[in-house]
Amino acid sequence: MLRARRFWPLALVAAVALFLAACEGGEEQPATGTPRAQQPTGAPITIGMMYDGTGATQLIGVAYKAGFEDYINLINSKGGIDGHPINVIFCEHGYNADRGVECYENQKRGGAIGTVTYGTPITAAVIGRCNQDQIVCTFPGYGSAAAANGERFPYGFPIAASYWSQAGAAVRFVLDEWQREGKSGKPKIAYLFYDNPAGNEPREVLRTIAQREGLQLEEVAVPAPGTEMSSQVTRITQSIRPDWVITHLFGSSPSVSIKALKEAGFPLNRVVALVWGSGDADVEAAGGWAFAEGYYGLQFTAIGTDLPVLREITEMYRSQGKQPPDLMTKNNVYYMRGVANAAVMVEGIRNALRQKGYPITGADLKAGIEAIRGEVAGVVNLNLSARDHEGGGSVRIYQVRGGRWQLARDWFQGYRDVIESFVYR
């Protein structure tokens, strides 16, 4: 018996050795894409894309990646950009900063001229490297709002309304609704936020705007993990009694907030959520579309299942004899964010090819993205420049009505001057 036990370790060491040997050989890069209908002719252009397929926010990551991948495949199936196919090195990081650095280095080695640094901790961890290596890093909806300053972060691209711009737009929306309803005075606003760096970020902006407008603003923090907020909601409904609530929550906490506010009797058509509280899953987890009727959500992309770009993607799948992924409809909001991110990358590459011609570097892609003006693929509305990497911070507001998100207000900005005074301070 003792002898048998002694052989165990040997067998395991052998197994480990085999594993290590196997890993030495595994140097091939992850390939992308499906067989293409129309083969591009030119040399490929490589970009990277990080996402999380495991961990707390994988619900977002998987749909985001699907949208990104489908849009790139669509471009490749139409012959690429000026004949150049786009090759994407995908990398799953499980929302872990260390893995994100590993992903970044891997993509850099693979020749990526730009990447998507999905996730706030990952963006924080690699942004210094992006500037140093001259690789364009895009992070719509996460990362720091200050990165909108293109002079300070030459290779960091939020390419979407930052939390500052979102907060400004939310207040603008609330005040406009207040006026539209013909009410007198100023509304009282409660800001319900997740107590992490991202949740705290818009507070200063909100205070500045509130002071200027003479609004009464109350801030209510929700500690991590945000799955319980009855005391916060009680405070809102019993003692603050605001006219409107602006929420800035993450993960499963948006759905908790919808549920708690509704159960406490607060009208959901007086609640507006920033972009990470306005997904399809947030509504469904809160108790369904009928339950959340009236809830407002900010978006920095167009959403909906009837967009022209989605019809094209569906067409591409059909022509290959396949069905489009159900994430397209079931998790439409995050899918669209992936599509939008890919569309901006593609547009940037297209501009870079026009301005300079193949081959393009990270610096050319930077100039290409900075040249984007107006709508891209019908999903985002950006006015980028070397100074403004956010693109103006325009948002749309959608409302839960009749079992889906319906457009409540088209592209608009809020308090641009205040936001800019923060970005360029």
Partner 1 sequence: MINRECGVFRTTYQADMSLYGVPLARITVAAFALFFALVFPFVVDHKHLVWANFAGISIVAAIGLNLLTGYTGQISIGHAAFMATGGYTAAIMTTRADVPFWVGLIAGGVFASAYGLIVGLPSVRVKGFYLAIATLAAQFITEWIINHVEWIGGGFQASIIVPPASLGPVRFDTELEKYYLVLALVVLAVVAGLNIARSRLGRAFVAIRDRDVAAEIIGVDIFRYKLLSFMISSFFAGVAGALYVYYVGTATIEAFQISRSIEILAMIIIGGLGSILGSIFGAVFVVVLPLALEDILEFFRGVLPVTDIDTFVSQLKLMVFGGLIMLFLMVEPEGLNRLWRNVKDYFRVWPFSY
Q: Using CB under 8 A, list all residues that contact partner 1.
A: 3, 6, 8-10, 12-13, 19-20, 22-23, 26-28, 30-31, 53-54, 58, 62, 65-66, 90, 92, 94, 97-98, 101-102, 105-106, 109, 120-121, 124-129, 132, 143-147, 195-198, 200-201, 325
Query: Pairing state of beta strands 373-376 and 380-383?
Result: antiparallel
Residues 6+ apart with CB under 8 A from 408: 296, 397, 398, 399
Q: How far is the CB of 119 from partner 1 (least distance, A)?
A: 9
Provide DSSP, 211-257: HHHT-EEEEEEE-TT-S--HHHHHIIIIII--SEEEEE--TTHHHHH
Q: How far is the CB of 144 from partner 1 (least distance, A)?
A: 4
Task: Give the nearer residue to partner 1 in terms of CB position, either 128 or 357.
Answer: 128
Between the CA of residue 118 and those of 122, 338, 343, what are the distances in Å?
A: 7, 10, 16
Q: How far is the CB of 109 from partner 1 (least distance, A)?
A: 5
Q: How far is the CB of 314 from partner 1 (least distance, A)?
A: 16
What dihedral angle (degrees, nearest 10) is formed by the CA atoms of 126, 205, 172, 118?
A: 10
Q: How far is the CB of 131 from partner 1 (least distance, A)?
A: 9
CB environment 102-112: b (16+ within 10 A), e (fewer)? ebbebbbebeb
Task: Give the nearer residue to partner 1 in terms of CB position, either 296 or 335.
Answer: 335
Q: How far is the CB of 198 from partner 1 (least distance, A)?
A: 6
Q: How far is the CB of 150 from partner 1 (least distance, A)?
A: 15
Residues 218 and 189 sit within 8 Å (Cβ to Cβ): yes
Task: Give the nearer residue to partner 1 in terms of CB position, either 295 or 422.
Answer: 422
- Helices and strands, counts by H and E, the chain: 15, 14
Residue with tokens 């959608």: 398
Q: How far is the CB of 85 from partner 1 (least distance, A)?
A: 19
Task: Give the nearer residue to partner 1 in terms of CB position, either 134 or 269.
Answer: 134
Identify the bridge partners of residue 137 per DSSP, sorted by sequence position.
115, 156
Distance of CA 162 to the CA centre of its chain: 10
Provide DSSP, 310-351: HHHHHHHHHHTT-PPPTHHHHTHHHHHHHHHHHHHHHHHHHH
Cα–Cα–Cα angle for 276, 335, 84, rounded to 5 degrees? 130
Task: Give the nearer residue to partner 1 in terms of CB position, either 405 or 422.
Answer: 422
Q: How far is the CB of 140 from partner 1 (least distance, A)?
A: 15
Task: Give the nearer residue to partner 1 in terms of CB position, either 31 or 181.
Answer: 31
Number of C-alpha atoms within 13 angstroms, CB side, residue 272? 24
Q: How far is the CB of 351 from partner 1 (least distance, A)?
A: 28
Task: Give the nearer residue to partner 1 in terms of CB position, either 175 or 205.
Answer: 205
**What is the spatial distance between Cα 113 and Cα 117, in angstroms, rounded to a whole number?**
13
Task: Give the nearer residue to partner 1 in terms of CB position, either 176 or 195.
Answer: 195
Q: How far is the CB of 106 from partner 1 (least distance, A)?
A: 5
Identify the bridge partners of residue 54 per DSSP, sorted by sequence position.
none
Task: Give the nearer residue to partner 1 in terms of CB position, either 80 or 121.
Answer: 121
Task: Give the nearer residue to partner 1 in terms of CB position, either 157 or 295.
Answer: 157
Residues 187 and 243 sit within 8 Å (Cβ to Cβ): yes
State the Rg of the chain over Cα. Answer: 23
Task: Give the nearer residue to partner 1 in terms of CB position, either 30 or 288.
Answer: 30
**What is the spatial distance between Cα 223 and Cα 113, in angstroms, rounded to a whole number?**
38
